[in-house]
Amino acid sequence: MKMRKDYQQLSARFKNHQVLVIGDFMLDAYFEGSCTRVAPEAPVPVIDIHHKHYCLGGAANVAANLCAMGCEVIFCTVIGSDEHGEMGRQLLIKAGLPDRLVISDLQRTTLLKTRISTPRQTLLRYDEGTITPLTADTETIYLDHIKYVYDQCDAIIIADYGKGIITSGVINCLGNLKAGKQKIIAVDSKRIEAFSGLKPDLIKPNYEEAIKLLGLSFEADHRKAQLRPYGQELFRLGQAKVTALTLDSEGSMLFNGADCVYESVAPAVMSRQQVSGAGDTYISAALLALLSGATMEQLAELATMAASIGIEKEHTSICTLSELQEVYGEADKFMVSATLVRETFKKYKAQGKRIVFTNGCFDILHSGHVSYLHQAKQLGDILVVGLNKDESIRRLKGNNRPVNTLPNRTAVLAALACVDHVIPFGSVKDDTPISLLKMIQPDVFVKGGDYENRLLPEAETLRKLGCEIAFLPYVSNQSTTEVISRMDDQARRKLSLLN
């Protein structure tokens, strides 16, 4: 990664800015379940829903990304006066976003996108909510909110999804405000030509939007070559100082006016079947980079990296400042970003390092653990400890565990010289380290001798990776459960003496 320190210093300046986000509020819902039968009344699958997850979408996801990246956010939108609107308010507050400029309209229902899936695929998405333009009365209130906060912000992001919030009145209002006082304006919209009168500082069409605007045919590959000659036409349509053209796995292209000045390459990421909002993450990071004095190259690289970090996660894409800085920092022992994990271990492989992986809860670190980890390190060059998250331990061992939280367990493990990296894992879907193993591709997988005659859930993955499995001697009377049991016995004895 080029000039890591420069990128770290640049992203550290994100917190110095205040951004106004205006646009369509959406709620994203993910219903996950299993399918084992067909409905008797029609030839359709029956999905037994096991898990429901709601998160901020649309302009709210842009606001959440900006907030997560450290800047101060003013969010101005309209929702319905309904159950989903109230849920959205609660999610905004949880994300650290004030809802004082969120208007509840009795005549609208909140936009909700619901995705229904099984572990293998997304089966259905259905949308509900009002998508007609704001009424005259609501638009007046909305414009008053925008006028009230315009002077307080350094920049504005218009997150327009064509759902009725960004009306011609809103665009005209911003034009009048900008004529009186210049502000940085970024636009993410399928209809960039509608905002050309604002002469935006930044617009972000994606590939599908760009070819539709330009009247071109879809190409699966070589998208940069296809669109490189069209800088002048994109500039004519959008009138933007900078056009960031996002191209999915091909990265992005940056046009300064009509000239293509930089092309970024997207880092390799794991495929996620249920991720939305990568464009929201991209434009959020791109605007903050622009505000922080980034060059075109830095803007493109930061925004591409932020989007890559976001899509490594399940559901709607979010990148935090700490994750972004972690990627551009020196590889620390504790690693969270999947992108950083993949890049770091790719480098180790290129250096010919022998990677050893083990995993566990390591709740109360005792001499048995220390002996085991020292032996594991002797099997290679790099020792990685996959560490179950707190929620994962509760699912596996009950609500009274862990005794020590993830930050405490991480700090103790990281203090051991034999441990090179500690990486947390575990989700509702999978409490095994299989996803980590696929990313890291270790040479040796280590377990305690007490696992030698058990069926390992990781076995098939390890076989495919060509990874050696090593079992180390089990230290008797040194399990965490036995340590806790002895502590409980001592506490009971002391209590009996007091009584």
**Active-site choice (280, 363, 390, 420):** 280
Residue 280 a catalytic site member: yes
Considering Cα of 363, then 368, then 374, then 376, what sign does the dihedral take? negative
d(CA 46, CA 39): 6
Q: Which residues pair with 28 in a beta bridge?
A: 55, 113
∠ at Cα 339 (338, 345), nearest 5°? Answer: 85
Q: What is the 3-state secondary structure (H, E, C) of the chain?
A: CCCHHHHHHHHHHHHHCEEEEEECEEEEEEEEEEEEEECCCCCCEEEEEEEEEEEEEEHHHHHHHHHHCCCEEEEEEEEECCHHHHHHHHHHHHCCCCCCCEEEECCCCCEEEEEEECCCCEEEEEEECCCCCCCHHHHHHHHHHHHHHHCCCCEEEEEECCCCCCCHHHHHHHHHHHHHCCCEEEEEECCHHHHHHHCCCEECCEHHHHHHHHCCCCCCCCHHHHHHHHHHHHHHHHCCCEEEEECHHHCEEEEECCEEEEEECCCCCCCCCCEECHHHHHHHHHHHHHHCCCCHHHHHHHHHHHHHHHHCCCEECCCCHHHHHHHHCCCCCECCCHHHHHHHHHHHHHCCCCEEEEEECCCCCCHHHHHHHHHHHCCCCEEEEEEECHHHHHHHHCCCCCCCCHHHHHHHHHCCCCCCEEEEECCCCCCCCHHHHHHHCCCEEEEEHHHCCCCCCCHHHHHHHCCEEEEECCCCCCCHHHHHHHHHHHHHHHHHHHC
* Residue 209 backbone dihedrals phi, psi, to 5 degrees: -65, -40
Q: How far apart (Å, rounded) are the C-alpha atoms in residues 239 and 236?
A: 6
Q: Is the separation of the CB atoms in 97 and 12 below 8 Å?
A: no
Q: Which residues are catalytic?
A: 280
